[in-house]
Amino acid sequence: MDKIALVTGGTRGIGRAISEALVKDGFKVAANYAGNDEAARQCAEELGISVFKFDVGDFDACQAGVKAIEAEMGIIDVLVNNAGITRDAMLHKMTREQWDDVIRVDLTSAFNLSQAVINGMRDKGWGRIVNISSINGQKGQMGQTNYSAAKAGLIGFSKALAQETARKGITVNTVCPGYTDTDMVAAVPEKVLESIVSSIPVGRLGKSSEIAACVSFLSSDGAAFITGATLAANGGQYIPT
């Protein structure tokens, strides 16, 4: 029987690359998205996946979304919490709305979706949860107290949930991408981007496919002995101790 994977933010950027990689691995993929209907339609057609529109930061919407996915496709075996936003500002200028929006979408969403799928995984005795954090959740970043806090929170969330679920055949891991060649990074001013690239030892931005390959492995049977781990994929820009 085919395994079912849900990728949040799965129709664009790194999320789309993850959806594509999991399709190649033999998963039936459901990709969640927030608002870009045209990108979702194109992704569904090109990858042959199902797409579902709901707000990952809304608990009730996630419960309803997972029920809709499972009614159409079956019990979810793999959850990739990839959806994320930025609302950058220095703390002394950051609004409560900027803080709340990022925490809700980037961190609370992982609780919302994991809570919705965890019982199905426990009943099956098999599951994979992969949370997409960031290099800035490991090292921090000026102007991103909200984003860095949310992405650091994903690491702690993963470590705690990994301990809860290990004996149920469920692994929970985190991938921390560095600066990756996506539309979000492409919008950075050229001089800033040049400075970023010059600080990466491998001398280039990451590729979405390289981040997807990390998720592909952690979602496989071969990664069954890896749980609570944090995988840094950043070209050597930041090396955690």
What pLDDT, in 10s, does the model give residues 99-144?
Answer: 999 999 999 999 999 999 999 999 999 999 999 999 999 999 999 9
Amino acid at site 3? K
- Predicted local confidence at residue 190, as pLDDT: 87
Residue 105: count of CB within 10 angstroms of its CB: 22
**Whole-number Å distance between alpha carbons of 145 and 88:** 8
Mean of all residue pLDDT scores within the chain: 96
Check whether 185 has a pLDDT greater than 90: no
Known catalytic residue: 179?
A: no
pLDDT at 35 over 70: yes
Q: Is the pLDDT of residue 204 over 70?
A: yes
Prediction pTM value: 0.96
SS3 of the chain: CCCEEEECCCCCHHHHHHHHHHHHCCCEEEEEECCCHHHHHHHHHHHCCEEEECCCCCHHHHHHHHHHHHHHHCCCCEEEECCCCCCCECHHHCCHHHHHHHHHHHHHHHHHHHHHHHHHHHHHCCEEEEEECCHHHHHCCCCEHHHHHHHHHHHHHHHHHHHHHHHHCEEEEEEEECCECCHHHHCCCHHHHHHHHHCCCCCCCECHHHHHHHHHHHCCHHHCCCCCCEEEECCCCCCCC
Which of 33, 147, 179, 238 is flagged as catalytic? 147
Which domains are assigned to the chain?
Answer: 4-179+209-233 (3.40.50.720)
User: Does the pLDDT at position 1 exceed 70?
Assistant: no
